[in-house]
Amino acid sequence: MLTFAPLKRRKMFNNRIKIKELLAMEPAGQEVIVMGWVRSFRNNQFIALNDGSTNNNIQVVAGLGQFGDELLKRITTSASLKVTGTIVPSLGKGQKMDLNATTIEILGDSDAEKYPLQLKNRPTLEYLREKAHLRFRTNTFGSVFRVRHALAFAIHKFFNDKGFVYMHTPIITGSDAEGAGELFRVTTLPFDKTPRSEDGSVNFKEDFFGRATNLTVSGQLEGELGATAFGDIYTFGPTFRAENSNTTRHLAEFWMIEPEMAFYDLEDNMNLAEEFIKYIIKYAIDNNKEDLEFLAQRLADEEKQLPQDKRSEMGLMGKLEFVLNNDFERLTYTDAIDILKESNYNKKKKFQYGITGWGMDLQSEHERYLVEKHFKKPVILYNYPGAIKAFYMRQNDDGKTVAAMDILAPGIGEIVGGSQREERLDKLEARMKEMHIPIEEMWWYLDTRRFGTVPHAGFGLGFERMVQFVTGMTNIRDVIAFPRAPGSAEF
């Protein structure tokens, strides 16, 4: 039997309590240690201290005459402190406790004159994007990124509890899953002396991987390989699109959740996607209500500046509860085209892109009309024209449509895209030839159809768009820590 000698522990520097936990206590003279950053310091006595665990500050009281002037001068906005003291009921309004300081240690000084985020001039979201390294210290971004964390955790919990296997698919790949060609190339070849083949094309045989490679646009194809062995898998990782879109909905680097399920058809796929969305929203409401209520008020204040017809019909919390409490509307692409064609918006030419008829690719404005004006709830469109969808989607018996589905959400349009995958080798190869996708390079993908093929399906959810929806933020660059967009790769 093994025995171990007891560890000899030294006194820890970080023997602190987080402010969120502290504020949940009943003040009764307990001695505690807190650490955080100064939000404000008034009357040379009252310090609002925040450690990022909550938007709420603890008021630290530095008793008059208890601390030297040199120390007090260093207590400036965003300076970091370690405070030891006792918590007592507060005499002031708006807080139930104060922390009466017995010792204050400056961990890091901050030049208040140079600090970019001044309380007296509330910075705009545009300005904060230029200071993305510091914007986490604001209440808005504190709430956004705590909610983002909760959603990420909920995603893993949802799939884990259902017995899915989490797969890490490659970031560097030789395939373009979408066939769109908007790729970031990966190479070690010198720019000034790029080796060329006889026909003048780049000779990638001399490159690091011996072939052309790029950053992944999707982990789906590799995910299908896992699903045909484990049954149910999901991926959750970064993806990249070299799409020159400077919009509030697009990023060049973003995160995707992509489950793939063997023995699923399109109906199973839609059911799982709806259950998934409702689960993670409910998790955020249950665990981050304080942050969501703050963001709901922020959004309401922002919308007061808009014309009446541009304001949302329901607040953020109402919208989230509405999604939870209603079945998503399901209709075919064909029915959606008919609704859009007959709409007053189309007849009065209010759409920027007119409804030209069956076969057109729906734009965000069309998707949002269906969700926000017509049905007034999330919508699942399915059975799209094959001509506007990817090669891997299962062909329907009508010869025109494929078993694809998109989930459309208020405010942002498409939030999920998925399909039943084409499991029939002959039809998949014919489709690939039709779309000029090199069959010989995709031998590994086609092997899953040669050796025990099964009906299977999957979908992709853009994580940042989901975070946008749940937080009410109107620009996707405000829900990812360091946004990558055309002409922007700071930090």
Domain boundaries, given as residue ranges, for the chain: 19-115, 139-182+217-478
CATH number of 139-182+217-478: 3.30.930.10
Q: What would the pLDDT profile of 61-79 be if each residue is shown by its tens digit?
A: 999 999 999 999 999 999 9
3-class SS of residue 312: coil
Average of pLDDT values for 133-144?
96
Name the pLDDT band for 314 (thresholds 50, 70, 90).
Answer: confident
Collect all residues with Cβ–Cβ distance below 8 Å to 369 and sequence separation of at least 6: 340, 343, 345, 351
**At residue 145, does pLDDT exceed 90?**
yes
Q: In the predicted model, what is the mean pLDDT of residues 461-479?
A: 95
> Which one, of 75, 57, 77, lies nearest residue 66 by Cα?
75
Closest C-alpha to 266, from 155, 417, 451: 417
| CA dist., res. 133 & res. 491, Å (int) | 7
Mean pLDDT for the chain? 93
pLDDT of the residue at 194: 86
Nearest-angstrom CA–CA distance, 393 and 436:
15
Asked whether the beta carbons of 101 and 63 are under 8 A apart, the reply is yes
At 193 the pLDDT is 84
What is the mean predicted confidence (pLDDT) over 4-13?
73
Q: Which of 186-195, 220-229, 353-362 has the lowest mean pLDDT?
A: 186-195
The tokens of 465 are what? 């768009």
- C-alpha 31, offset from chain centre: 39
The pLDDT-based confidence of 1 (bands split at 50, 70, 90) is low
Q: Where are the alpha helices (DSSP H) in 82-219?
A: 125-130, 139-161
Of residues 457 and 438, the one with the higher pLDDT is 457
How far apart (Å, rounded) are the C-alpha atoms in residues 267 and 265?
A: 6
Cα 486 to Cα 44: distance, rounded to the nearest angstrom: 46
pLDDT by residue (tens digit) across 21-70? 999 999 999 999 999 999 999 999 999 999 999 999 999 999 999 999 99
For 19-115, CATH number?
Answer: 2.40.50.140
Which parts of 46-177 fold into alpha helices (H)? 69-73, 125-130, 139-161
**Which is it for the CA torsion 115, 120, 126, 132, positive or negative?**
positive
Torsion of CA 382, 238, 466, 487, to 10 degrees: -100
Q: What is the pLDDT of residue 313?
A: 76
Q: What's the confidence (pLDDT) of residue 176?
A: 73
Is residue 2's pLDDT more than 80?
A: no
List residues bridging with 295 in a β-sheet. none
* DSSP secondary structure, 179-211, as one string: ------EE--S-STT--B-TTSSB-GGGSTTSS
In this chain, the answer to whether the domains covering 19-115 and 139-182+217-478 adopt an identical fold is no
Q: How confident is the model at residue 491 (pLDDT cuts 50, 70, 90)?
A: confident
Q: Across the strands, what pairs with 59?
A: 48, 98
Where does the pLDDT of residue 350 fall: very low under 50, low under 70, confident under 90, or very high at 90 and above?
Answer: very high
Tokens standing for residue 267: 């109906």
Residue 197 — pLDDT band, cuts 50, 70, 90?
confident
CA dist., res. 157 & res. 236, Å (int): 12
Q: Residue 155 CB: number of other CB atoms within 10 A?
A: 23
DSSP of 5-41: PPP-PPPPS-----HHHHHTSPPSS-EEEEEEEEEEE
pLDDT of residue 180: 57
pLDDT tens digits, 71-100 = 999 999 999 999 999 999 998 787 899 999
Nearest C-alpha neighbor of 264 from the set 491, 470, 459, 29: 459
What angle in degrees, to the nearest 10, is found between the helix axes of 289-303 and 463-471? 80
Question: Can you name the residues that pair with 234 across neighbouring β-strands?
Answer: 166, 259
| Mean pLDDT score, 482-491 | 90
Lowest mean pLDDT among 156-165, 196-205, 344-353: 196-205
